[in-house]
Amino acid sequence: MERETDYFTAYRSLKLTRGNDGVLVAEFHTKGGPFTFTASDHTDFVDAFYRISQDRANKIVILTGAGGEFIPNIDFSTFGNVADPGVWSQVHDEGVQILENICNIRVPVISAIEGRAHIHSEYALLGSVIVAAEGATFHDVPHFAGGIVPGDGIFTTWSYRAGAGRAEAFLLNPQPLSARTAQEWGVVAEVVPNGKSLDRARELAALYLKVPEVTRRNTRVHFIQPLKERIVREVGYGLSLEGASAADLVKSMQAGGKPSA
């Protein structure tokens, strides 16, 4: 219990609960309701996913969100002046580390999606299996539509799961993508009635737990390896490109004009 309380209650926006079966549910939230992503959460999640990955008492991990949403909103103002190289250096390093640490979770990860996965949907796509409610939608609110490069891993994960052509079109003209379409693209494994994604994720977890632990762990390691290699190879560079575009966006806004070509 001592180790559990050591990190289970350490993060403001990530509720961690684990049953006697070893299934850890990691729920994104803001004060118990739908999650609004902030800079402090970006910092917290580096440590959170590292701790989750190293805790061998976690037999299965389920990622989900509170209030009928996955990650619907972001508060850009909390990140400060992203044109400042020091500010972006922290964003860059944390962004790389979060994704690598999710990849390093060495047990099956199930993403249970309700409502809007409109911010950092790449977290969900690093799961072994995605279960989405009928009304769930996937989107990329912060990047190209807002004037910056989608370089934080969202292209890497979507192109890996759905194919490069679909990912490029989706990210260049971001519109809400339904759970059914995401299933047709091969991103979502199962579509369930609204409110039932977590229940179905638990059913899948119980099924996976019937397999010996080393087999279960090694299967996750094997399945995530090709995507992990792309994350390591591409995301640091992508975030550098995104940082340059963010600086240009801030510069153009300060000048009262439009982003330069």
**Residues in CB range of 89: below 8 A, 6 or more apart:** none
CA 168 to chain centre: 18
The CA–CA distances, whole Å, from 254 to 76, 151, 247, 251, 258 equal: 16, 23, 11, 5, 10
Region 201-222: mean pLDDT is 98
pLDDT of residue 1: 44
Q: Given a cut of 90, is residue 261 above it in pLDDT?
A: no
Q: How confident is the model at residue 254 (pLDDT cuts 50, 70, 90)?
A: confident
The pLDDT value recorded for residue 173 is: 96
Q: Considering the chain, what percentage of its residues have pLDDT values greater than 70?
A: 96
pLDDT of residue 164: 98
pLDDT of residue 2: 45
Residue 173, token pair as written in the block: 């003209």
Q: Can you read off the two tokens belonging to residue 32?
A: 């118990």
Tokens encoding 142: 């912060």
Q: What is the pLDDT of residue 50?
A: 97
Q: Is the pLDDT of residue 249 over 70?
A: yes
Strands 109-113 and 60-65, by their bridges, are: parallel
pLDDT band at 255 (very low <50, low <70, confident <90, very high): confident
* Per-residue confidence (pLDDT) for residue 246, from 0 to 100: 96
- CATH topology assigned to domain 2-254: 2-enoyl-CoA Hydratase; Chain A, domain 1 (3.90.226)
Q: Is the pLDDT of residue 101 over 50?
A: yes
Average pLDDT over residues 76-84: 95
**Dist CA 182 CA 197 (whole Å):** 15
Query: Which range among 1-15, 84-98, 146-160, 214-228 shows the weakest confidence by mean pLDDT?
Result: 1-15
**Residue 109 to residues 38, 134, 258: CA-CA distances in angstroms?**
24, 20, 41
Does residue 124 register a pLDDT over 90?
Answer: yes
Is 19's pLDDT higher than 70?
yes
- Would the pLDDT of 260 be above 70? no
Report the amino acid identity of residue 194.
N
Indicate whether 156 pLDDT > 70.
Answer: yes
Return the C-alpha torsion angle 82, 85, 88, 92, nearest 10.
160
Tell whether the model's pLDDT for residue 257 goes beyond 90.
no
Alpha carbon separation from 152 to 7, 242, 243 (Å, rounded): 26, 7, 10
Please report the pLDDT score of residue 94 as a whole number.
98
Q: How many Cβ atoms are within 10 Å of 118's Cβ, its own excluded?
A: 22
**Structure-token match 């950092």, residue found:** 120
pLDDT of residue 5: 60
Tell me the sheet residues that pair with 191: 132
pLDDT at position 233: 98
pLDDT band at 256 (very low <50, low <70, confident <90, very high): confident
What dihedral angle (degrees, nearest 10) is formed by the CA atoms of 229, 233, 239, 240? 170
Query: Is 122 labeled as catalytic in the residue annotation?
Result: yes
- Please say if the pLDDT value at position 171 is more than 50: yes
Catalytic residue among 27, 69, 122, 242: 122
Of 44, 57, 65, residue with least CA distance to 106: 57
Q: What is the DSSP letter of 260?
A: P
**pTM (2 decimals)?**
0.95
Place of tokens 């972001």: 74
